[in-house]
């Protein structure tokens, strides 16, 4: 029974993501720094991992909405807001953005 409940929950969560709006496709990609990794897919799926002070924080889930340049990830009442102080932009051929105070660079294909 637990196995079926888990499968149902995974299917439910995967169906909660909406594709990113056309004007936000610059956010799509794998973004990295030494202490943080962020993966944003065009289908609205987000995976985040950060090492800070010897502790690891990770979040995975659907992107619920944008609030200005910031974005909110999660389901129901369990959400995380990512503070984007510099939205995705190109500098010298490399794409960067600053999330939660960390400058990230998009990994090339």
Q: Is the pLDDT of residue 13 over 70?
A: no
Asked if residues 80 and 68 have their Cβ atoms less than 8 Å apart, the reply is no
Helices assigned H by DSSP within the chain:
2-14
Residue 61 half-sphere exposure toward CB, CA atoms < 13 A: 21
Going by C-alpha positions, the residue among 18, 55, 56, 57 that lies closest to residue 40 is 18
What's the mean pLDDT in 23-50? 97
pLDDT tens-place string over residues 49-70:
999 989 999 999 999 999 999 9
pLDDT at residue 5, rounded to an integer: 43
Q: Can you tell me the distance from the alpha carbon of 29 to that of 50, in angstroms, rounded to the nearest whole number?
A: 17
Q: What pLDDT is recorded for position 7?
A: 42
Q: How confident is the model at residue 18 (pLDDT cuts 50, 70, 90)?
A: confident
What's residue 109's pLDDT?
Answer: 62
User: Mind listing the pLDDT tens digit for each residue in 60-103?
Assistant: 999 999 999 999 999 888 999 999 999 999 999 999 999 999 99
Q: Do residues 46 and 73 lie in contact, with contact meaning Cβ atoms separated by under 8 Å?
A: yes
The CATH code of the domain at 2-106 is 2.40.128
Domain residue ranges of the chain, discontinuous segments joined by +: 2-106
- The predicted pLDDT at position 10 comes to 47
């Amino acid at each position: 029974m637990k196995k079926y409940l888990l499968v149902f929950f995974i299917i439910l969560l995967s169906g909660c993501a909406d594709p990113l709006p056309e004007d936000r496709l610059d956010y799509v990609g794998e973004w990295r720094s030494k202490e943080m990794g962020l993966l944003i897919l065009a289908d609205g799926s987000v995976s985040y991992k950060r090492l800070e002070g010897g502790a690891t924080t990770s979040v995975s889930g659907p992107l619920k909405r944008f609030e200005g340049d910031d974005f909110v990830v999660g389901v129901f009442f369990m959400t995380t807001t990512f503070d984007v102080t510099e939205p995705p932009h190109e500098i010298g051929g490399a794409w960067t953005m600053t999330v939660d105070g960390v400058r990230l660079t998009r990994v090339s294909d």
